[in-house]
Chain A
């Protein structure tokens, strides 16, 4: 009798679970994905597609759970923080932010973190998508030249920050060691026309005492939380000019927005657009008709909106001195037919 009852409950929850995941995103708040948790990742491990900002890998679609391998290389490199200004960045895969990782809930993910042999310091990775000690940081602590590996099961759908957690953490993050990992719910996010990856970070600089013409991390400014730069995608102007992201009138745009910090909270806003949907803090709760959404340091948001009128739409941290003076500004260029019913210059 008990067995039959258990079976019935299990079957019912399976059906319910399946319906839900096709209609809604993930589980209701507070509910653990117990059915999904038991789903076995099948097949041979495959290397996950990863991308540099502003691009994201292909959606997971309707596939089942897989075994995925994610390869990341930690490096310490000179790069441009603004035109003509060189800075010593610490990175995942030589880019700031680090590669975008996209998996499905139920996937088993093997993270191979190699610290480049030319690094001075040890590095590691803490993925906020992980249920386990340190998000993998301890398991992946790699001295220069070494590769360390850990494996986790992606259980909670959402958009998560990953970052280096080697001490001193504010310096590792302040130098650019962060990125995003998206855990899509079973069945995938609803398809949209355009998806982009944007990550904000605050940078604290001083002139290097050792190398001429090079900027480096300033600890005093970091402790005072007084950055010289607040940037989208690791460089001043990275999303302006030829770096603008694009869409066509009538298309729906989804932005995966993260905030690496290390210190500032972002008031993310797109001038001239209203977010139709915001996945609050990158989780499962969706709210509508939002002008500006808060993105905590070490947090994220997914925003979606349909573009109706052509033009250049400015992305900012609406703590506006950061946008006007410190670089937290980017653009979305929308091309297509004008629609005077929605917007026109002049009166009736």
Chain B
């Protein structure tokens, strides 16, 4: 818990620094001419009522409470990110600071504001860093989803909010993971999940705000972090979850990431707090941990 807190603090500071830098990096004239105060996002948002859920990591009994939140119904697209970099020059490929994105940032783009020929503008944008994703989210008045928020939505299949105990749930995702280059397909083309959210698994990995707050190691069996027994299969979770290979893969992917990394099949979607509305469920939230059929 302490480690998680420290991480959240560190990331807040880093994010704050990143946004400071945004302000400074762009000359005044340009920023006035080209930077609208708020870029609009066309992505529809879906209300997730929140609740208490059992994380894939951690002990059997500890449920994590997730407040109600809004999440984009699909990943951010190439077209949307292009509009963003046109308005925020410091996130263009030739302008971006190395600290905030590695040398492969938007690697396939033909120029700063030109998408490669043949690329689908409605396909998810990839090959961008956590900093860039975060800057986009801020620019459209949203934020990145928290890991727990993302994982809560990820428990759903097409028919139930928690499909973790269904065998078909993990199997289907694993089948997808054996197919390459799915990131070139357009968003919102496959069936949405229980919440009406598209493409949670079938196109790209997704950044979360606190992607490495769970200190799993890339080594599947390390006992180094004893308060995180994700990979000590016997004690960690139910037998069903030990077979949840898709979740193991997600967490190992996140463990291998650094905030400036860019990856060909890693994109993002945005989330948002529910403003000033009364909670839609009881303060304890719905117990999603036991709603699986």
Binding site for B on A (CB under 8 A): 76, 88, 117-122, 124, 126, 133-134, 137-138, 140-146, 165-169, 171, 208-211, 216-217, 219, 223
Contacts and interface: CB of A to CB of B under 8 A. Distances in A.
B175 A209 contact: yes
Interface stretch (B72-80, B136-144, B243-251): B243-251
Q: Tell me the dominant secondary structure on chain B's binding face.
A: loop
Given A124-B219, A216-B175, A143 B245 contact: no
Given A120-B177, A143-B256, A146-B261, A168 B249 contact: yes
Interface string B256-288: 110001111110000000000000000000000
A91 to B, nearest CB: 14
B244 to A, nearest CB: 9
Interface in B185-231: 217-222, 224, 231
Contacts of A165: 219-221
Contacts of A210: 175-176, 178-179
Contacts, number: 108
Contacts of B171: 219
A216 B104 CA distance: 31
A209 B172 CA distance: 9
A144 B245 contact: no
Given A133-B224, A143-B253, A171-B245, A216 B218 contact: no
Contact of B256 (A141, A168, A216, A219): A141
A138 B177 contact: no
A137 B218 contact: yes
Contacts of A118: 180-181, 264
A117 B222 CA distance: 26
Contacts of B265: 120, 144
A126 B218 CA distance: 11
A145 B248 CA distance: 20
B255 interface: yes
A113 B253 CA distance: 16
B179 A211 contact: yes
B263 A167 contact: no
A209 B173 CA distance: 11
Nearest to B182: A120
Contacts of A141: 217-219, 252, 255-256
A169 B231 CA distance: 10
Given A76-B180, A144-B264, A216-B178, 17 more contacts: A117-B264, A118-B180, A120-B179, A120-B180, A121-B252, A122-B249, A122-B252, A133-B219, A137-B218, A137-B220, A143-B261, A144-B265, A166-B218, A166-B219, A216-B175, A217-B178, A219-B171
B176 A134 contact: no
A42 to B, nearest CB: 31
Contacts of B178: 76, 88, 120, 208, 210, 216-217
B64 interface: no
B174 interface: yes
30 contacts: A120-B265, A121-B177, A121-B249, A122-B249, A122-B252, A122-B253, A126-B219, A134-B222, A137-B217, A137-B218, A137-B220, A138-B217, A138-B218, A138-B222, A138-B224, A141-B219, A143-B266, A144-B266, A165-B220, A165-B221, A166-B218, A167-B245, A171-B174, A208-B175, A208-B178, A210-B176, A210-B179, A217-B174, A217-B178, A219-B245
10 A-B pairs with the lowest CB-CB distances in the bound complex, closest first: A141-B218, A137-B219, A167-B248, A167-B220, A134-B219, A138-B219, A143-B256, A122-B256, A141-B256, A168-B245
B218 A124 contact: yes
Interface in B109-156: none
Contacts of A171: 174, 245
Nearest to A216: B178
Contacts of A167: 220, 231, 245, 248-249, 251-252
A126 B217 CA distance: 13
A138 B222 CA distance: 8
B266 to A, nearest CB: 8
Contacts of B176: 210
A134 B255 CA distance: 15
B243 A219 contact: yes
Given A143-B263, A144-B265, A223-B243, A134 B217 contact: yes
